Amino acid sequence: MFQRSIPLFIVLFTALLLIVAFFIPHKPFGDLESRFLNWYAIISGFTFLLGLDSLTRHHLLKVIRREKGWFYSLLLVLSLFATLTVGLYSWVKFSSPFALRAPFMWLYKYMIIPLQATMFATLAFFIFSAAYRAFRIRNLGATLLLIAACLVMLGNVPLGSSIWQRISQLVHLVFPNTRLDLLYQIELFAQIKDWLMAIPQAAAGRGIGIGLALGGIAMSLRIILGIERTYLSS
Amino acid sequence: MLVKDNPNDQGQAIVITWTHPAPESLLGFRIFRSTSPTGDFTPVEPELLNRTDYLDTDTLLRDGVAYYYLIRAYSANDSASSAVAGPVIARAQWFNASRLNVLVLTLIISALFIYYILRARQGKQMFIRKISGLDAIDDALGRATEMGKPILFSFGLGYITDMVVIAALPLLRRIGKKSAEYAVRLIVPNSDPIVMTAAQETVKEAYTEAGRPDLYNPDNITFVTSDQFGYAAGVDGIILRERPGAIFWLGYFYAESLILAETGHTVGAIQLAGTTETTQLPFFVAACDYTMIGEEIYAASCYLKPEPVMLGTIKGEDFIKMLLIFIITVLVFFGTAATLLNRNIPSLQTVFEAIVNWFSPPS
């Protein structure tokens, strides 16, 4: 019985304490939130040992059992220990592994950052493939989505501006009385993009945002009042 | 020069404001503080200030002690001091008045939630609409079983302090239970060790509940890395090697969401996503078969275990949403009227702005 009720009591007490601290700046409440976050940071720092244990054990077992792709697991484990060794060496030699001249920082600058950048760059290709599927004209909704997306893209890039200039010149040719400089200034694609982003997009985004905020409050209350207990595996 | 206690804080702060004498030759100001109007004034900020306010939060400042200030203006060749201002005493406040609006709204919202929870406890029947994303869970699991492929579940880059991760845990439990019943491997790569521990516990409980604790293998619920794109690369690797039949993206996702979901699509997995990160929702909508939008993910535990009390909170949420729509509609009409009639009745605009400001976020 206490196995369930004590954690629930701790949740209720801590939640009420933090709610009170939000409204009361006076000591001892004022800095409670930052204190709790500090404790969380300390605890999560220790739990990284759990993560390290999980990662190394998982991949070492793969290597020992010669499972499919074991060679990559071996590379991962070797890289992990090589990084640790370089980090320790940098710490001893330069007082900090993050010193600019430390080999640990070379690893960071010349391996981690380029690898991260490469992974991020693949996003461009994935956006293209996902957009191709999302914007196929299957029904009215998808067609409207395609038109809106094209207009937003044209409003965001210089190509949209130069297309608008060509259109303005055509209008000026057909109706010579219109002033070309005024037509240029209209920047129709940019204006449509601004309207789409500021009105329909913002309205939908705020609607989802309000729903999320209320959902979050409902979820918090369920946890605080002990109605929602799945996080305690019950 | 005006000095006063900084309002709504935990003490040890004094606000100093002054008017600018305006000559262009002025280089700036320096503020001096003393505990006596005639005593030694020491500078509180070594740099020259080129503004008309300053918040003194010096660590030497004590609550309950009377302080006096003077300000000195500097030009290239000369300086001049103001009259001494004070005494002023720094104090900690017992209530943050700038958060009064939050308190009022919290009380109203909590009262409504509690009202609907109590109504549900009395046996009042509640209805919850169909959430197709949650209904699709069983189909996805069934398909993965038929194809003899594993299932992949990811919390993304979420921490256990994120509400969406807590909301996704019941879904993991449900998926874990089904995967144990169908004897399908469930893989959960994690970016946070605490979330990994919670996931291991949840899946273990689910396997025990399904009567198959023998199938539970903690090696399937591992830590990958806390680095964003390292995590994306690691999970992409798992997807390409293991080729899961069903993938669940439920948690906190950033720019890596599309990289993950598109890789899942490449291997032909049926994908279900849900996140509170609204900027990533369009990517999931484009790449996944089902996406839980907005608060649907928060409603998951109530939907999967439709107890009256749980449903009561959803009812309360819907009522508050209706109330907010009503308030927004009234304010839109009021604001429009205030703008149109501004010339004849200027006070309308003032009232409208006061109402809008009341709802603005606290400092």
| pLDDT tens-digit series, residues B200-218 | 999 999 999 899 999 998 8
Please answer yes or no on whether A51 and B102 come within 8 Å at the CB atom.
Answer: no
User: Across residues B184-193, what is the average pLDDT?
Assistant: 93
Distance of alpha carbon A32 from alpha carbon B316, whole angstroms:
30
B348-to-A215, B186, B217, B336, B345 alpha-carbon distances in Å:
34, 61, 66, 10, 6
Say what the pLDDT of residue A149 is.
85
Please answer yes or no on whether A44 and B230 come within 8 Å at the CB atom.
Answer: no
Helix (H, G, I), strand (E, B) or coil at A75: helix
Distance of alpha carbon B339 from alpha carbon B345, whole angstroms:
9
Helix (H, G, I), strand (E, B) or coil at B73: strand
Model confidence over B84-103: pLDDT tens digits?
A: 877 888 888 888 888 888 89
Are β-strands B66-75 and B85-89 bridged in parallel, bridged antiparallel, or unpaired? Answer: antiparallel
Which structure tokens are listed for A15? 């939640």
**Cβ atoms of residues B261 and B156 within 8 Å:** no
Please answer yes or no on whether A208 and B316 come within 8 Å at the CB atom.
Answer: no
Residue indicated by tokens 């400042």: B61
User: Across residues B301-306, what is the average pLDDT?
Assistant: 73
Which residues, at least 6 apart from B18, have a Cβ–Cβ distance to it below 8 Å?
B1, B2, B29, B52, B53, B71, B82
Please tell me which of the candidates B92, B117, B167 has its beta carbon nearest to residue A25: B92
**Cβ atoms of residues A112 and A91 within 8 Å:** no
Model confidence over A58-105: pLDDT tens digits?
A: 899 999 999 888 898 999 999 999 999 999 999 999 888 888 888 999
pLDDT class of A233 with cuts at 50, 70, 90: low
Distance of alpha carbon B8 from alpha carbon B95, whole angstroms:
7
Say what the pLDDT of residue A1 is.
64
Please answer yes or no on whether A216 and B228 come within 8 Å at the CB atom.
Answer: no
Report chain A residues whose CB lies below 8 A from the CB of B287.
126, 130, 133
Which structure tokens are listed for B10? 């935990």
CA atoms within a 13 Å half-sphere pointing along the CA-CB vector of B313: 27
pLDDT class of B72 with cuts at 50, 70, 90: confident
Question: Would you give the DSSP letter of residue B49?
Answer: B
Say what the pLDDT of residue B130 is.
76
pLDDT at B14 over 80: yes
Please answer yes or no on whether B227 and A205 come within 8 Å at the CB atom.
Answer: no
pLDDT at B264 over 90: yes
User: Across residues A25-30, what is the average pLDDT?
Assistant: 82
Residues of B (304-323) whose Cβ lies below 8 Å from A: 309-310, 313-314, 316-317, 320-321
pLDDT at B23 over 70: no
pLDDT at A155 over 70: yes
Higher-confidence position of B303 and A17? A17
**Cβ atoms of residues B1 and B70 within 8 Å:** yes
Distance of alpha carbon A228 from alpha carbon B166, whole angstroms:
10
Model confidence over B273-283: pLDDT tens digits?
A: 988 888 888 88
Report chain B residues whose CB lies below 8 A from the CB of A214.
109, 295, 317, 320-321, 324
Residue B170's CB is within 10 A of a number of other CB atoms, namely 20
Query: What is the percent of chain A with per-residue pLDDT over 70, rounded to a whole number?
Result: 97
Distance from CA of A92 to the nearest CA of B (A): 25
